[in-house]
Structure 1
Amino acid sequence: MQHFSPGEKLKAQTGDWRAARHGLNTVATQSSFGDRPAWVPMSFRSQASLLSDLMADHAAGADLALVGEKGSGKSAIVRAFAALLGYRTRSLFCYRDMSSRDLLQRRMTDPLGNTEWRDSSVVEAAICGDLAILDGVHRLAKGSLYATLAPLLSDRACALPDGTLLCSPRFWEKWSEGGSLAALGARQVHPAFRLIVCGETPESGQSRGWIDEEVGTLFHFHAVAALPSHEQRSLAVLCAATAAEAKDKPVDKLLAYGQAAKAAVSKDADLRPLQLSLRALLRASRHLCLRPEDAAGAIARAFSARLTFLPSSQRQLGEKLLAEAGIRPSPRETNITASEVAGQLQLGSVRCQLRTPNRPELVPQVHFVETPAHMTLLQSMLVSWIAGQHLLLVGNQGVGKNKLADQLLGLLRCEREYVQLHRDTTVQSLTLSPTLEAGVVGWQDSALIRAARAGRCLVVDEADKAPLEVVCVLKALAEDGELSLPDGRALVRSSDPRASAGDSDEFLPIADGFRMIVLANRPGFPFLGNDFYRVCGDVFDCHAVEYLDKESELELLRQTAPLVPQEKLAALSDLFLDLRKLSDAGQLSYPYSTRDLVKLAAHAQHFPGDSSEELAANVFGFDAYQEDQRDRLLKALRRHGFAKGKAGEAELFGESRGRKHLRLIQR
């Protein structure tokens, strides 16, 4: 990849931008970024023209704004622009609750426990002459972008929250003799500094949305339109390789569905989750490269995490559009088993090279029951792993997401780092971990940094519980392969020249084997977390983890409780199937999970003398305090032979436990 030196960047600012356009043409056939097969915008006429316009605006000294649909390629264009000019990029991901002050500086805690101001990525880029990127700027509160950054972008000067000043190059050159400005706490804005903001196209009915009269004066705006159909096909064929010429033309089916979904969204905005973005098209095409006949699986990897959990009417329409495009579910492979063959893991017809762990104690070992449904899902996850993708598992609580992730890593002998997110998780806590040594608080790399540097797999649990600014960190790492850390360091791709040259302590290479498996609950009630998929789920290979089918569920129960009569296990399975239907219909608030069912079976295995009501009380006892749920739950339980009569009801809800006479028997 050709780069421009800082001197050439400044030369471009003075008006010699034709050289930049000439450089653009010479890069049109160069390789893509990093180690991963990616979209090269310069290879397509429409995007090469856009890059040429960006170069001209850059030479004129303008800051830039890219506006387009989600997944349309804005980030890829910015990366191409930065690589052509040799810029280091510093990204800041925006979220709805972000304050105006956070765009410039944030309060941080140093190793001694003192609070201090820390410059944001925008200020760091302004001082160092880098390219600052504000991603997701459409999420900011209206007016905050102009009120905070207008002085910096218009005059190249700004007053920071800590009381210091940023001065324009012209002002600094005139008044900085003798170090008087530096003594006053002023700092110079580098002449090469530029800011690019990326935002989504305002939705219909919102007028101009985030693009108002004030913001319109700060940037030169460029629309990132969808690629023409022939360029989309060329790009999909490039990613799908030989699969594009398969007998049933799977790439053409993907494009046909994309056109049909786009037409449906234009009539009904609620169908937007069904739209096939450019990013999703690339993901589906990479899946076809490994499984040429599996067009349905390719679509599922793109957005099954959203399609599976849509309301019934929207889900049926999506299935109809897929059928009209000729995309139908492929026959499932049966009798899938896990085995090792010549140093490879084999799951059915899929093989993958085993890893050699440096720290075997980090390889998870779990008790796993090989049910048909879970083995099929493990095989799909392995295909995504082979394709070099990060994985997203979405499902209700207690359906086995952790078990599946740990079992896959255990079979692959892959070391695991684990982090569980929550509502108080911050970007700093995600990237740095506090330690106490000899009475002194210190800081060390978090699980995320350790996994990225050592080439391990990071399992991110409860991702839907984290604030949006933390979720955006995962998007940067998964999609861009670069992450700026709060302490000034940056994770970059191993192929990035900055990782092997210069200050190695500043740029940390991401090891080739690094992967992420992100676990999240389905959006909406009753889990009430963030809609992880809506924010950044489309940068992951999606796998929807649903409830087991009847055959797989009974196999799981038989393995868990082999001494319990089969009729009793079947009755428990039928009961939970009925309860889930009531939950889907909105009559029960909680979708009783496979975890709850396994708990009942294990209780019956270890305490065979307990009655059915005592058995069920472990799961349903607390529902006695929800009057609106109690009656519906009782009706369902009695249909399956539980809680018969007043005595059974009292025993089920724990109301008779205080009247029992228990004594301790010593053996």
Structure 2
Amino acid sequence: MHSRILLKGTAAAVAARRIRHILGPVMSKEGWNCSAHEVKLLNTSSGDTVKIGEISYVLKSPRNPELVPVNHMLEALPQMITQHLRWIMQKDLLGQDVFLIGPPGPLRRSIAMQYLCAVRAATEGRILVLEGLEKAERNVLPVLNNLLENREMQLEDGRFLMSAQRYDKLLEEHTKDELDAWKIVRVSEDFRVIALGLPVPRYKGNPLDPPLRSRFQARDIYYLPFKDQLEHLYTIGPNVSPERVSQLLSFATTLCSQESASLSLPDFPMDNLPSALAVLNLFPMLSAQQLVQRLYPYEVMLGKEGRTAVEGVLSRFELTDGSKKPSPNAVLSVEPVNGDHAGRAEVTLNIANQNITFQVPSGTRPIRPPNSSPAFIGTPTHDRLLAEMMQSHLVKDICLIGAKGCGKSVIAREFAEMLGYSIEPIMLYQLCAAVDREVLEECLGF
């Protein structure tokens, strides 16, 4: 059964503008149609309503609109995403918390944010997103369990969060001033929790205790179907041959299969394929194999057996073109862009005897031309690396991997100075990703 998204009306002009701002990218004057999906915005006096299939949700006006996520709506909503949103809406209407479980990547978070774009819960009924629940320490699980089951929690400053039902019952016998004096705080009936986590096992983490697990309505969030992903990649890389796009997606899908997991191969970062296609669309002469290594540096992170397995998959899908395709030779120029595009730089690279110019984000400091620093003496290898970093900076952040003392910090500093970025080194050792009481209270707004 195909789902449909329908927006109805607005009781306030501000709310209408807000909805248009959130859903603007996916809407036209007549609505947006793509096979099974239909999105419309109708202005009536009945109020704001989100409808997915037969499920309807009346929107609430936020007290702090700036807290509502707005940049997570896709230009096209695949059918599977619509089904996930519809399921979350069902659980929300039933007053139930949800737990989205799936492999590593931003898909689960993106679905949660897309739902918040549509629902926009009021400030006093915020939706708490708990990401990485499998990393939660044991000492915080009882706190979470009580918050989820009873909507109650003792705060460090002496206040006590109480469920709306119990609070309202007490209010029938006592005044609000008395409850305030007792430091009792009412939890909104609109308060919901969306937890995001990895399945343990296969991935590392703490298995959820049965009492905590039972507080959630869980849903498996896996990668999008092959067909949906392929159509999305086609739109991103129109200059790339459809056969090459299909080969790249087939390679990535194979590395995320159960067979690859049995070989202890890390999952391929499927969600980064659109970024790779954006680079390949601008530089269609690039090697697909070299581009894969930027997303999946198997030569560095895998042993001999793992490297052989990955290279076998590359060969199966005819992606072993590393020695046949050119790489960018050097950054020829970096110039600031003025006017409406301030905060961007125009970069020119040389690749296969061609000069290709494109724009990337830049910092607030003056931009410096390449090879103009007296403190940096580059080599052809450095020049190629800086050119590849410029390509990657077009779409994503960058992680440099290398042995101690190989020059990672020097290259990063040269890259930053060329683009006018300020540098602030932060030494990252073993960081604790656990949720503690203080962080939980901060998320709740107390």
Q: Same fold (TM over 0.5)?
A: yes
Rate the CA distance shift 1:385–1:262 in 2: closer, same or farther, 3 A.
Answer: closer
How far is the alpha carbon of 1:351 from its aligned partner? 2.7
> What letter matches 2:162 in structure 1?
C
What's 1:615 paired with? none
What's 2:104 paired with? 70
Rate the CA distance shift 1:131–1:360 in 2: closer, same or farther, 3 A.
Answer: same
Rate the CA distance shift 1:297–1:71 in 2: closer, same or farther, 3 A.
Answer: same
Alignment of 1:294-313 (within 5 A): 294=286, 295-304=288-297, 307-313=299-305
Q: Report the secondary structure of 2:318's partner residue.
A: coil
- Asked if 1:338 is matched to 2:332, the reply is yes
Q: Which one of the candidate residues 264, 270, 273 is aligned to 1:278?
A: 270
Which runs of no fewer than 5 residues in structure 1 stay unpaired?
9-15, 27-32, 89-124, 422-462, 473-483, 491-667
| Whole-angstrom CA distance in 2 between matches of 1:205 and 1:417 | 34
Rate the CA distance shift 1:64–1:307 in 2: closer, same or farther, 3 A.
Answer: farther
How far is the alpha carbon of 1:172 from its aligned partner? 1.9
| Whole-angstrom CA distance in 2 between matches of 1:314 and 1:356 | 38
Q: Report the secondary structure of 2:424's partner residue.
A: strand
Alignment of 1:434-473 (within 5 A): 463=428, 465-469=429-433
Tell me, yes or no, if the aligned pair for 2:161 and 2:184 is still in contact at 8 Å: yes
| Whole-angstrom CA distance in 2 between matches of 1:341 and 1:154 | 57
Alignment of 1:341-352 (within 5 A): 344-348=346-350, 349-352=355-358
What's 2:247 paired with? 253
Alignment of 1:157-196 (within 5 A): 157-176=152-171, 177-196=175-194
Tell me, yes or no, if the aligned pair for 2:10 and 2:48 is still in contact at 8 Å: no
Rate the CA distance shift 1:372–1:133 in 2: closer, same or farther, 3 A.
Answer: same
Tell me the alpha carbon deviations over residues 545-577 of structure 1, each in whole angstroms, 9 at most, x when there is no partner.
Answer: xxxxxxxxxxxxxxxxxxxxxxxxxxxxxxxxx
Rate the CA distance shift 1:39–1:192 in 2: closer, same or farther, 3 A.
Answer: closer
What's 1:415 paired with? 421
Tell me the alpha carbon deviations over residues 576-628 of structure 1, each in whole angstroms, 9 at most, x when there is no partner.
Answer: xxxxxxxxxxxxxxxxxxxxxxxxxxxxxxxxxxxxxxxxxxxxxxxxxxxxx
| Whole-angstrom CA distance in 1 between matches of 2:360 and 2:84 | 43
How far is the alpha carbon of 1:260 from its aligned partner? 2.6
> What letter matches 1:318 in structure 2?
V
How far is the alpha carbon of 1:307 from its aligned partner? 4.4
Give the structure-2-normalised TM-score. 0.71
| Whole-angstrom CA distance in 1 between matches of 2:10 and 2:109 | 22
Rate the CA distance shift 1:81–1:265 in 2: closer, same or farther, 3 A.
Answer: same
Give the structure-1-normalised TM-score. 0.49
345-354 vs 174-183, greater mean Cα deviation: 345-354
Tell me the alpha carbon deviations over residues 423-455 of structure 1, each in whole angstroms, 9 at most, x when there is no partner.
Answer: xxxxxxxxxxxxxxxxxxxxxxxxxxxxxxxxx
Q: Which one of the candidate residues 52, 69, 78 is aligned to 1:21?
A: 52
What's 1:150 paired with? 145
What's 1:220 paired with? 217
| Whole-angstrom CA distance in 1 between matches of 2:310 and 2:133 | 30
What's 1:236 paired with? 233
Q: Report the secondary structure of 1:319's partner residue.
A: helix
How far is the alpha carbon of 1:42 from its aligned partner? 6.6
- Asked if 1:199 is matched to 2:197, the reply is yes
How far is the alpha carbon of 1:186 from its aligned partner? 1.7
What's 1:386 paired with? 394
Q: Report the secondary structure of 2:105's partner residue.
A: coil
Q: Which one of the candidate residues 129, 149, 153 is aligned to 2:125?
A: 129
Tell me, yes or no, if the aligned pair for 1:23 and 1:84 is still in contact at 8 Å: no
Rate the CA distance shift 1:68–1:23 in 2: closer, same or farther, 3 A.
Answer: same
Tell me, yes or no, if the aligned pair for 2:367 and 2:418 is still in contact at 8 Å: no
How far is the alpha carbon of 1:226 from its aligned partner? 2.4
How far is the alpha carbon of 1:355 from its aligned partner? 8.1
Tell me, yes or no, if the aligned pair for 1:350 and 1:383 is still in contact at 8 Å: no
Alignment of 1:512-551 (within 5 A): none
| RMSD (Å), alpha carbons | 4.2
Q: Report the secondary structure of 2:425's partner residue.
A: strand
How far is the alpha carbon of 1:335 from its aligned partner? 5.4
How far is the alpha carbon of 1:365 from its aligned partner? 4.8
Tell me, yes or no, if the aligned pair for 1:280 and 1:302 is still in contact at 8 Å: yes
Tell me, yes or no, if the aligned pair for 1:345 and 1:352 is still in contact at 8 Å: yes
Alignment of 1:617-628 (within 5 A): none
What's 1:54 paired with? 88
| Whole-angstrom CA distance in 2 between matches of 1:191 and 1:383 | 48
> What letter matches 2:233 in structure 1?
A
What's 1:45 paired with? 79
What's 2:29 paired with? none
Q: Report the secondary structure of 1:147's partner residue.
A: helix
Rate the CA distance shift 1:342–1:68 in 2: closer, same or farther, 3 A.
Answer: closer
Report how many residues are paired. Answer: 373
| Whole-angstrom CA distance in 2 between matches of 1:276 and 1:69 | 10
Q: Report the secondary structure of 1:133's partner residue.
A: strand
| Whole-angstrom CA distance in 2 between matches of 1:297 and 1:24 | 46
Alignment of 1:478-627 (within 5 A): none
- Asked if 1:401 is matched to 2:408, the reply is yes
How far is the alpha carbon of 1:250 from its aligned partner? 2.1
| Whole-angstrom CA distance in 2 between matches of 1:378 and 1:209 | 40
- Asked if 1:268 is matched to 2:234, the reply is no
Rate the CA distance shift 1:263–1:400 in 2: closer, same or farther, 3 A.
Answer: same
| Whole-angstrom CA distance in 2 between matches of 1:355 and 1:158 | 44
How far is the alpha carbon of 1:221 from its aligned partner? 0.7
Rate the CA distance shift 1:290–1:203 in 2: closer, same or farther, 3 A.
Answer: farther
Tell me, yes or no, if the aligned pair for 2:132 and 2:198 is still in contact at 8 Å: yes
Q: Report the secondary structure of 2:223's partner residue.
A: coil
| Whole-angstrom CA distance in 1 between matches of 2:75 and 2:336 | 40
- Asked if 1:325 is matched to 2:323, the reply is no
Rate the CA distance shift 1:231–1:351 in 2: closer, same or farther, 3 A.
Answer: same
Tell me, yes or no, if the aligned pair for 1:250 and 1:293 is still in contact at 8 Å: no
How far is the alpha carbon of 1:61 from its aligned partner? 0.2
Q: Report the secondary structure of 1:66's partner residue.
A: strand
Q: Report the secondary structure of 2:101's partner residue.
A: strand
Tell me, yes or no, if the aligned pair for 1:67 and 1:201 is still in contact at 8 Å: yes
How far is the alpha carbon of 1:324 from its aligned partner? 1.8
Tell me the alpha carbon deviations over residues 37-61 of structure 1, each in whole angstroms, 9 at most, x when there is no partner.
Answer: x773971111211110110110000
Q: Which has the higher helix share?
A: 1
Higher RCO (CA < 8 A, seq sep 6+): 2
How far is the alpha carbon of 1:217 from its aligned partner? 1.8
How far is the alpha carbon of 1:170 from its aligned partner? 1.8
Tell me, yes or no, if the aligned pair for 1:239 and 1:289 is still in contact at 8 Å: yes
Alignment of 1:80-95 (within 5 A): 80-87=114-121
Tell me, yes or no, if the aligned pair for 2:97 and 2:148 is still in contact at 8 Å: yes
| Whole-angstrom CA distance in 1 between matches of 2:216 and 2:11 | 23
> What letter matches 2:295 in structure 1?
A
How far is the alpha carbon of 1:340 from its aligned partner? 5.5
> What letter matches 1:251 in structure 2?
V
How far is the alpha carbon of 1:249 from its aligned partner? 2.4
